[in-house]
Amino acid sequence: MEKIIVQYLPEVESYLNELVYLLFQKEYFGYLETALDYVDDLINFIDYNISIFPPKNTPVNLIELGSKYIFYKANNHTTWYIFFENFENRFLVTYITNNHTEIVKFL
């Protein structure tokens, strides 16, 4: 089995780093460490499942986000949508959003 390579656009990496502080600032989590664990769980899901989960094709009106996407249900209130490109065993995460944004109404 070939090694799976998962990379993130710099904008996605920045978003994930900022997300930790945003979740803590908005008091979704009482401790910074808990917010960090939450984002780490999201990243771990992507790294270990992006090659396993059957992807959906991105609708044409959102294709600039990435040609495929998978989703991760973090809890009863939040589902994350991970957009990406891939060729064989290489995956490039191009955008991440959740169900609390306007974009998801187009999925």
- Residue-range domain boundaries for the chain: 5-99
- pLDDT band per the 50, 70, 90 thresholds, residue 15: very high
CB 77 within 8 Å of CB 38: no
Q: What is the pLDDT of residues 29-72, one digit of tens each?
A: 999 999 999 999 999 999 999 999 999 999 999 999 999 999 99
pTM above 0.85, yes or no: yes
Q: What is the dihedral of CA 23, 52, 93, 22, to 10 degrees?
A: 0
Distance CA 70, CA 82 (A): 5
The fold for domain 5-99 equals YaeB-like fold (3.30.2310)
pLDDT tens by residue, 74-103: 999 999 999 999 999 999 999 999 999 999
User: Kind and range of the H or E element at 5?
Assistant: strand 5-8
